[in-house]
Amino acid sequence: MLMMKRAAAVLVAAFFVLAVRGAEAREMPRPETFTLRNGMQVVVITDRRAPVVTHMVWYRVGAGDDPPGNSGIAHFFEHLMFKGTRTIAPGEFSRTVARNGGVDNAFTSWDYTAYYERIARDRLELVMRMEADRMRGLRMLPEDITSEREVIVEERRQRTDNSPGAVLGERMRAMLWPHSPYGTPVIGWLHEIHGLDQPALGAFYRTYYAPNNAILVVAGDVNAAELRPLAERIYGRIQPTRNLPARSWVTDPPPRGPMRVSHTDEKVRQPSITRLYPAISYTTGEGRQAHALDVSIEILGGSETSRLYRELVETRHLAVSAGASSDTSGRAGGSVSVFATPADGVSLETLEAAMDEIIATYLRDGPTDAELARAKSSLAAAAIYARDSQESLANIYGSSLAEGETLEQIVTWPDEIERVSRDEVLAITRTTLDINSSVTGLLLPPTGGAQ
């Protein structure tokens, strides 16, 4: 399963949402943590309400680390890791988990690759042993590589090539990040997927699938004192990668003006407009910049009480949907998306002009005190429910640590959100929503529309 980067609740990849991170104006649960002698970081989030655990291994490697010309290689391993080892037959990993009453899966983003199992507490050692086994013992037979390549090619065709919105989104990202790896799709470009071979895959696996490049997160009916002996015995014996490469990604040149792209497809029944802006993230921002940006975009377009929705849908009746989202999770930066779908008889040109007017007013005047309070409350309310899930907590701690944040940043997030001021919101919004650094995309039916 491909994973987009963590974002606000309106994004498709919602179980990594920003809202997961704030549960009231107080600290998040503070996990226990330790590091094994081979460099593997371990995070334990104790939850005794049920005899169940969520076991996750996060590798600090994702599509952003794909070597030039080998896009899709990180995602390829999301498939290959289930093909078998010297001790586990192909496909037997998931069958064993299922036979023991558990579920498992994996996901990839630009910043990490993660594998998880949710299972009864008395089966924890079983999944730990299997996960440790495939960390270094994966078998990559030529026939497995060939079969999984075909599966991935079909996945790309179904999810991207046959989806007009996904095609447009892929083109927009490539324009917004022409040099950064964030402009390359996680699943990879089709022609490069076809070129991935055993030597390239083997080198990638031997380098990055190592304990000193991994974070073990276990949430549920266990504490650090109980987990540590297991972790040391099972994971602690795995040899680390010596001279693990630093994660150094190229960056993009300064923007030179607004960019536009349109995509027409017979499958499109209703046109729409989307605009992307590059943004800071919790890793690249300073102070409360990322917190302020998330609060700001919640006000602008995060719900049906937001400015964009109220103005475009409810007041002016120019759109059937409208909103905005922030993705502030990337280790190398984030993005903001603004989007709208016109009502019948409304041109995209008219809708875009109204959208620009609302954004301009927001940049000029900033949020009201009521909007600021409501946005903070909305983020907290959405998070209270998510915080109650051990899976959500395991996800948020694992993803944030893999992206370069510290435990302290995660734990104190709710307090920092509460401290965000109107001036901080206004400052980061004016910096981010700069039309000269944006990409605007139009999704059009065959009959066309306003360009």
pLDDT tens-digit profile of 145-171? Answer: 999 999 999 999 999 999 999 999 999
pLDDT at residue 388, rounded to an integer? 79
Confidence of residue 399 (pLDDT cuts 50, 70, 90): very high
Closest CA to 372 of 299, 431, 424, 433: 299
Which amino acid, 122? D
Confidence of residue 387 (pLDDT cuts 50, 70, 90): confident
pLDDT at residue 379, rounded to an integer? 81
pLDDT at residue 85, rounded to an integer? 95
Which amino acid, 97? V
Q: CA–CA distance from 371 to each of 302, 325, 343, 387 (Å)?
A: 12, 16, 26, 24
pLDDT at residue 23, rounded to an integer? 37
Average pLDDT over residues 8-18: 33
Please name the helix (run of DSSP H) or strand (run of DSSP E) that holds residue 60, with its range, or none: none
Whether the CB-CB separation of 201 and 73 falls below 8 Å is answered with yes
pLDDT at residue 383, rounded to an integer? 64
- Residue 13 predicted with pLDDT over 70: no
- Residue 190 predicted with pLDDT over 60: yes
pLDDT at residue 162, rounded to an integer? 96
pLDDT at residue 378, rounded to an integer? 83
- Residue 343 predicted with pLDDT over 90: yes
Helix-helix angle 124-136:224-234, to 10 degrees? 40
Helix-helix angle 422-432:348-365, to 10 degrees? 140
- Residue 380 predicted with pLDDT over 80: no
Query: Which residue intervals of 282-347 are DSSP H helices?
Result: 289-301, 307-309
Whether the CB-CB separation of 309 and 411 falls below 8 Å is answered with no
Spatial distance between the Cα atoms of 146 and 194, rounded to a whole number of angstroms: 9
Quote the DSSP letter at residue 249.
Answer: -
Closest CA to 296 of 179, 424, 193: 424
Average pLDDT over residues 361-382: 91
Closest CA to 17 of 283, 328, 284: 328
- Residue 1 predicted with pLDDT over 60: no
Task: Name the phi and psi angles at 248, rounded to 5.
Answer: -115, 110
pLDDT at residue 414, rounded to an integer? 84
- Residue 432 predicted with pLDDT over 50: yes
Percent helix, strand, coil in the chain (nearest 5)?
45, 20, 35
Average pLDDT over residues 7-30: 43
Given CATH 3.40.50.10140, say whether it is the number of domain 259-444: no
pLDDT at residue 384, rounded to an integer? 67
At 59, list the tokens: 């590798």
Spatial distance between the Cα atoms of 54 and 395, rounded to a whole number of angstroms: 10
String of DSSP letters for 154-193: HHHIIIIIT-HHHHHHHHHHHHH-SSSGGGS-TT--HHHH
Confidence of residue 28 (pLDDT cuts 50, 70, 90): confident
Local structure of 272: helix, strand or coil: strand
Residue owning tokens 């299972």: 119
pLDDT in tens, 91-113: 999 999 999 999 999 999 999 99
Q: What is the mean pLDDT of the chain?
A: 92
pLDDT in tens, 191-238: 999 999 999 999 999 999 999 999 999 999 999 999 999 999 999 999
pLDDT at residue 213, rounded to an integer? 98
Closest CA to 399 of 16, 2, 15: 16
- Range scoring the smallest mean pLDDT among 245-249, 291-295, 382-386, 431-435: 382-386
Q: State how far Cα 196 lies from the chain centre.
A: 24
Per-domain boundaries in the chain: 14-234, 259-444
pLDDT at residue 27, rounded to an integer? 63
pLDDT at residue 447, rounded to an integer? 79
Confidence of residue 26 (pLDDT cuts 50, 70, 90): low
Q: CA–CA distance from 161 to each of 146, 158, 171, 265 (Å)?
A: 21, 6, 12, 11
pLDDT in tens, 36-92: 999 999 999 999 999 999 999 999 999 999 999 999 999 999 999 999 999 999 999
pLDDT at residue 382, rounded to an integer? 65
Q: Do domains 14-234 and 259-444 have the same CATH topology?
A: yes
pLDDT at residue 377, rounded to an integer? 86
Closest CA to 205 of 73, 41, 36, 117: 73
Q: How many CB atoms lie within 10 A of CB 119?
A: 22
Provide the residue count of the chain: 451
Residues with catalytic function: 78
Q: CA–CA distance from 437 to each of 284, 334, 351, 360 (Å)?
A: 18, 13, 20, 15
Task: Name the phi and psi angles at 11, rounded to 5.
Answer: -75, 155
Query: Which residue intervals of 366-412 are DSSP H helices?
Result: 369-387, 390-402, 407-411
pLDDT at residue 255, rounded to an integer? 86
Spatial distance between the Cα atoms of 217 and 55, rounded to a whole number of angstroms: 6
Q: Report the first-to-last Cα separation within the chain, whole angstroms.
A: 35
How much of the chain, in percent, has pLDDT values that exceed 90?
86
Note the pTM of the prediction, 2 decimals: 0.92
Q: CA–CA distance from 127 to each of 53, 98, 235 (Å)?
A: 11, 11, 12
How much of the chain, in percent, has pLDDT values that exceed 70?
92
Burial profile 322-334: b = 16 or more Cβ within 10 angstroms, e = fewer: bbbbbbbbbbbbb
Spatial distance between the Cα atoms of 158 and 297, rounded to a whole number of angstroms: 31
CATH, domain range 14-234: 3.30.830.10
